[in-house]
Amino acid sequence: MAKTKGEFIATSKPSKMAKKPAVKETTENKAEKETKDPKKKAVIVKEEQPAEKVQPKAKAESTDDKIEVSIEKKLIAMYSLQQLDSQVDKIRIIRGELPLEVQDLEDEIVGLETRVDNYLQETIAVEKSISEKKTFIKDCFALIKKYEDQQMNVRNNREYDSLTKEIEFQNLEIQLAEKRIKEFQASLEIKKEEIDRYQKLFADRKSDLEIKKNELDDIIAETEKEEQDLITNSEKNRKYIEERLLTAYTRIRKNARNGLAVVQIERDACGGCFNKIPPQHQLDIRMHKKIIVCEYCGRILVDDEIVKSVH
């Protein structure tokens, strides 16, 4: 059967309309295939990578902030530690020289005891020597009497002269022994006087020691609790400071006359040695990004902001 032109057109139009949904399906299927394909996912991830690269910068900024805060906290902790240690120093200054005076008195009393003991030992030795000389004199008198008795029974002049010389010798020995006894007695009197003097001095020093000890005990009783609290707080602050800084802090405090290792800037100068600080260093100190020390005395410098945060 032959078809007319109108019929051909009518039949061809529905075929085109039917083909259009098929085209839609093919594009949607392609999109689904592209998303399901792992290679395409990798491409998508690669395209999103530049957005992720920005994140490390934010992390770096946050770490910088932490470093600044930690250094600032270290400065605050060190200045607080300095203030606590200075208060402990003031309490110990209030005690003054009492601990040293007590120690000196104790040492002096020990020395006096030793000196008195030595004099007593020397006195015993001198008295023993005196008794020995007296015994020796008695022996000499006994020999003289013996020799005199022998003279009564001599046979010749020679024996008589020999006995006479022996008697004279014994008399000289007696005189020498008596002289030594006098010297020993004089020395003994001097030693006894020294013993009496040192015993009086010992009693005086002992009474002074008791007075000084009582004064020291009273001051310690008044300030002991406050000192212990300050020392406890000082130990707490030390935990926030690294060992290297603590070593430097302790070394500076020992070398400094006033015990100051962390000082405030006052009138553009170091609060320890009073030397001028350059403006650039002052700016660095105010930034709190690093710990800065004085070029002249080596003390750690802080600004008014750190001081206000502590007080």
How far apart, in whole angstroms, are the C-alpha atoms of residue 222 and residue 241?
31
Tens-level pLDDT at each residue, the chain (311 residues):
444 444 433 444 444 444 444 444 444 444 444 444 444 444 333 344 444 444 444 443 443 443 444 788 888 888 888 888 888 888 878 777 788 888 899 999 999 999 999 999 999 999 999 999 999 999 999 999 999 988 888 888 898 899 999 999 999 999 999 999 999 999 999 999 999 999 999 999 999 999 988 888 888 887 778 888 888 888 887 877 888 888 888 898 888 878 888 998 888 898 888 889 888 888 888 888 888 888 888 888 998 888 888 87
Residue 176 lies in a domain: yes
Residue 49 lies in a domain: yes
How far apart, in whole angstroms, are the C-alpha atoms of residue 167 and residue 171?
6
**Considering its fold, how many domains does the chain have in total?**
2
Q: Which pLDDT belongs to residue 106?
A: 92
How far apart, in whole angstroms, are the C-alpha atoms of residue 99 and residue 109?
15
Tell me, yes or no, whether 213 and 112 share the same domain: yes
Tell me, yes or no, whether 37 and 141 share the same domain: no
Residue 155 lies in a domain: yes
CATH assignment of the domain containing 121: 1.10.287.1490
Say how many Å lie between the first and final Cα of the chain, rounded.
112
Q: Which pLDDT belongs to residue 206?
A: 92
Residue 211 lies in a domain: yes
Q: Which domain holds residue 132?
A: 99-226
Q: Which pLDDT belongs to residue 39?
A: 42
pTM for the predicted model, two decimal places: 0.47
Q: Which pLDDT belongs to residue 144?
A: 92
Cα 165 to its chain centre, rounded Å, is: 80
Residues 6+ apart with CB under 8 A from 271: 260, 263, 264, 265, 299, 301
Tell me, yes or no, whether 44 and 147 share the same domain: no
